[in-house]
Amino acid sequence: MHTLDLDRMAVRDVNQRLHSDAAGTDTDQRYEILNPMGRHAIAVGLDHPFDVTVRGHAGYYCGSMNKEATVTIDGNAGVGVAENIMSGTVHVTGYASQSAAATGHGGLVVIGGDASARCGISMKGVDIVVGGSVGHMSAFMAQSGHMVVCGDAGESFGDSIYEAQLFVRGSVESLGADCIEKEMGPEHVETVRGLLERAGIDADPAEFRRYGSARQLYNFKIGNIGYY
C-alpha cells in the first residue's frame, strides 16, 4: 500500500500522484491518505480502479467526479462528497455534510451515518445508501438512480423529482412538489436488498417505503401554477 501523508504533501501533489499513477504499471493499487484534517478536494477526478482510503475527516468534494476507484473516507466528509461521481464507490464511514453525491451519474455512494441537506441533489444515475437519515430537500430534482435511506428523511424530500427511485425506512417529514409514495413491489424489495448488500448495511428491505415522481410537473401547465 502506498502512503500519502498530507502533513508532508500538498493536496495538489497527492491528486497529481493519483492521476499520474493511473497511467503506470505498479501492481499495488492501494493508497492510504493520512492527515486529511478537513482539507478540500482530496482524491478527486480519479480515473482508475484504485483503492484509496482517507484516514480521517475530509473537507469539501472528497472523491468527487470519481471513475472506477473505490474511495473510503474513514471519518466524516464535508460538502459535496462524491460530487458528480461517474462510477466506482465512495464510502463515508461517518457523517456527510450537504449535497452528498450531488449530480452523481453512476457508481455507489455509501454514507454510514447521517447525510445533511440536499443529499443526492440532481442525481443522474448514482446509487446512494445512507445508514442514517437525510436532511431537507434531499433528492431535489433527482433525475435517475436510487436512494436508500435507512433512517428518516427531512422536509421536501424528492422535490421536483424526475425518474429517480427513493426508499426510506423511517419517516418522511414532508414530500416535495410532485413526489409521491408509490407501491413497494417485490422487484423494489429486491432492488433495496441488493443496494443494502453492496453497501454492507444490515437492514430488512421489506421495511422500506418507496417514493417517486407523480410526473405532473414534466410540462408547464396552468393548473400546476401553485407548484412553480
Partner 1 sequence: MDERKVRESATFPPHVIAEIQRAASEGLYYIRGAGAKRPVPTFDDLVFLGASISRYPLEGYREKCDTNVTIGTRFAKKPIELKIPITIAGMSFGALGANAKQALGHGASAMGTSTTTGDGGMTEEEREASDILVYQYLPSRYGMEPDQLRKADAIEVVAGQGAKPGGGGMLLGQKITDRVAQMRTLPKGIDQRSACRHPDWTGPDDLEIKIQELREITDWEKPIYIKVGATRTKFDTMLAVKAGADAIVIDGMQGGTAATQTCFIEDVGIPTLPAVRQAVEALKELDMHREVQLIVSGGMRTGGDVAKALALGADAVSIGMASLMALNCNAPIYEEDYHALGTRPGSCHHCHTGKCPVGITTQDPELEKRLDPELGAQRVRNYLATLTLECQTLARACGKSHVHNLEPEDMVALTMEAAAMARVPLAGTDWIPGWS
Note whether 214 binds partner 1 by CB under 8 A: no
How big is the site for partner 1, counted in residues (CB under 8 A)?
43
CA distances from 176 to 102, 120, 138 (A): 17, 14, 9
Note whether 31 binds partner 1 by CB under 8 A: no
CB of 29 to partner 1, least distance (A): 19
How far is 223 from 55, CA to CA, in rounded Å? 52
Q: How many CB atoms lie within 10 A of CB 17?
A: 14
152 neighbors 170 (Cβ within 8 angstroms)? yes
The gap from C-alpha 115 to its chain's centroid, in whole angstroms, comes to: 9
Note whether 143 binds partner 1 by CB under 8 A: yes
Note whether 178 binds partner 1 by CB under 8 A: no
CB of 122 to partner 1, least distance (A): 5
Which span sits near partner 1 by CB under 8 A: 121-129, 146-154, 166-174, 197-205? Answer: 121-129
Q: Which of 31, 33, 36, 60 binds partner 1 (CB under 8 A)?
A: 60
Note whether 118 binds partner 1 by CB under 8 A: yes
Which span sits near partner 1 by CB under 8 A: 1-9, 62-70, 165-173, 180-188? Answer: 62-70
Note whether 79 binds partner 1 by CB under 8 A: yes
CB of 135 to partner 1, least distance (A): 14
3 neighbors 32 (Cβ within 8 angstroms)? yes
Q: What angle do CA 203, 204, 206 make, to 5 degrees?
A: 145
Q: Which helix (H) or strand (E) holds 13?
A: helix 11-21
Site map (CB under 8 A) of partner 1, residues 122-141, x = contact: x-xx--------------xx
CA distances from 227 to 81, 97, 159, 222, 224 (A): 30, 28, 10, 10, 6
In terms of Cα–Cα distance, which of 89, 56, 98 is closest to 198? Answer: 89
Q: Which residues bind partner 1 (CB under 8 A)?
A: 11-12, 15-16, 19, 40-41, 44-45, 47, 59-61, 64-65, 67, 79-80, 83-84, 86, 98-99, 102-103, 105, 118, 121-122, 124-125, 140-141, 143-144, 160, 162-163, 218-220, 222, 225
